Structure formats: structure tokens, C-alpha cells
């Protein structure tokens, strides 16, 4: 089963897909179990109505995860395994989401930005945005000390605040230090 997991991705809504395959195809329980990454007894329980009785079937054909030809091929050969349509699976999993910061930590962002600007004044806005997940307007208002809550902002370490990981912080800071060394060498030569 581990070899199967490394080669094939899991379909979306596994149990709903299994319900649909049980109701609408003549595939074996083992074929459905392997495709949906469920135990074959669980698939048998779904067919008996003991498990997932309230779940509506979701067509893997409509979602583009399977083709009708693939289902017919596996219906003819009980030893064949269903193969997930890679194009549909890769499109669904490639969604790029922004960095989420919990509500309780959002008030700490200005403190983290102030820390970065105080101890690393040469840091670019893009590097601050990568670490903290904020806007140019916020960074500029703290840099120019025109932020509406400037008197309450304290410089606090962004790693200790939990706004980024230590490894991400080290990576960005090493980029800051490497980008400042060539400019210092050119100004010394003049």
C-alpha cells in the first residue's frame, strides 16, 4: 500500500467518491478501496449502508478525476487499478494561498516589522513581506514613524512572536547581508 501512496495521489472527497463508484459502477470493493485509499471492509460497509449513510455520492467523472474509459477498463478487468487523472489532481492542489496569520497574532505584526527595520535597516519591503506577511503601506508607515499606533509599537523578535520560522528568518537575513556586502565594497573604492 505504501508503494501505491507514493505513486498515486488521493482523490478529493474519498468517501463521497466511493459512494458514487459503488452506486454507479460494477467495480470490485478492492478496486474502489485502492482508488479511494480506504480499507476494503470500509467500502463493503459503505455498500451495506453501515458507513457513510448520510454522504451523497460525488462523481469523479464530473470533477475530472476519472474518465469513463478508465472506469470501463477496470470494470472489464477486476485485477486492474483505477488511475487518478493527474491533470485534474495537479490543478486542484496547485492553489497558492497567502500566508495566514491567526487573529491573535495580527496585532504583533507592527512590533515584528519595527524589529526588522531597527536591527536590519537595509532590509527591503519584499523581504519584510515574505517574513511577516504584510503590506507596503504598513511597512512604510512604520519606517517613517507615521503609523497610527506608533507610540504603542515595541520592537519584538518576529521568531519569538511566531510570525515566521527561525529557518525562514535566517534565510532572509543572509540574503540581506549578502546584498549589502557588494555595495559597501564599491563605496569604499570611490
User: pLDDT of 130-188, one tens digit each?
Assistant: 999 899 999 999 999 999 999 999 999 998 988 988 999 999 999 988 877 654 444 44
pLDDT of residue 182: 57
Burial of 166 (0-12, 13-18, 19+ CB in 10 A): exposed
The count of structural domains within the chain is 2
Residue 189 domain-assigned (yes or no): no
Q: What pTM was computed for the model?
A: 0.48
Tell me, yes or no, whether 116 and 161 share the same domain. yes
Say if 188 falls within a structural domain: no
Asked if residue 48 and residue 82 are part of one domain, the reply reads yes
User: 82 and 14 in one domain?
Assistant: yes
Query: Does residue 107 lie in a domain region?
Result: yes
76: confidence class by pLDDT, cuts 50, 70, 90: very high
44 and 117 in one domain?
no
Same structural domain, 81 and 156: no
151 and 88 fall within a common domain = no
CA distance 158 to 166: 9
Q: In this structure, are 81 and 23 located in the same domain?
A: yes
Residues in the chain: 190
**Domain span including residue 138:** 103-179
Nearest to 11 by CA among 89, 75, 110: 89
Domain match, 8 and 87 both: yes
Return the exposure string of 86-118: e unless at least 16 CB atoms fall within 10 Å of the residue's CB, then b.
eebbeeeeeeeeeeebeeeeeebbbbbbbbbbe
On whether both 75 and 110 belong to a single domain, the answer is no
- Considering the domain architecture, whether residues 20 and 78 belong to the same structural domain is answered as yes
Amino acid at each position: 500500500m505504501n508503494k501505491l501512496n507514493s505513486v498515486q495521489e488521493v482523490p478529493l472527497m474519498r468517501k463521497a467518491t466511493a459512494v458514487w463508484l459503488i452506486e454507479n459502477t460494477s467495480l470490485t470493493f478492492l478496486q474502489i478501496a485502492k482508488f479511494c485509499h480506504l480499507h476494503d471492509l470500509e467500502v463493503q460497509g459503505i455498500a451495506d449502508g453501515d458507513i457513510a449513510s448520510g454522504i451523497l455520492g460525488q462523481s469523479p467523472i464530473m470533477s475530472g478525476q476519472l474518465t469513463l474509459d478508465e472506469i470501463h477498463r477496470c470494470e472489464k478487468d477486476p485485477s486492474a487499478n483505477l488511475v487518478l487523472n493527474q491533470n485534474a489532481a495537479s490543478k486542484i492542489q496547485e492553489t497558492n494561498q497567502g500566508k495566514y496569520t491567526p487573529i491573535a497574532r495580527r496585532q504583533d505584526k507592527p512590533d515584528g516589522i519595527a524589529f526588522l527595520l531597527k536591527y536590519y535597516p537595509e532590509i527591503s519591503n519584499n523581504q519584510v513581506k515574505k517574513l511577516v506577511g504584510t503590506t507596503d503601506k504598513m511597512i512604510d508607515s512604520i519606517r517613517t514613524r507615521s503609523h497610527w499606533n506608533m507610540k504603542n509599537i515595541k520592537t519584538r523578535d518576529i521568531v519569538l512572536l511566531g510570525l515566521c520560522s527561525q529557518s525562514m528568518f535566517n534565510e532572509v537575513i543572509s540574503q540581506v547581508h549578502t546584498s549589502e556586502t557588494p555595495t559597501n565594497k564599491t563605496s569604499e573604492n570611490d
